[in-house]
């Protein structure tokens, strides 16, 4: 996921920040996770949004 963020942002610092925000968003919305997709897949969707 970090590498994907790095390709999106082009900067290591920005990629780390995007990944942190993505993981925080996933954690905050964990209660809504229905288990119909793999966790990695769900987080990847958040990252690419």
CB-based burial, 31-42: b 16+ in 10 Å, e otherwise: eeeeeeeeeeeb
Worst-scoring range by mean pLDDT, 16-20, 21-25, 26-30, 39-43?
Answer: 39-43
Q: Which residue in 22, 26, 25 sits closest to 1, CA to CA? A: 22
Q: Which residue has the higher pLDDT, 41 or 15?
A: 15
Q: Is the pTM of this model over 0.75?
A: no
Crossing angle of helices 2-9 and 12-28, rounded to 10°: 130
Calculate mean pLDDT across residues 22-48: 83
């Amino acid at each position: 996921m970090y590498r994907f963020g790095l390709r999106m942002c082009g900067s290591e610092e920005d990629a780390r920040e995007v990944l942190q925000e993505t993981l925080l968003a996933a954690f905050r919305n964990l209660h809504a996770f229905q288990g119909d997709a793999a966790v990695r897949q769900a987080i990847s969707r958040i990252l690419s949004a």
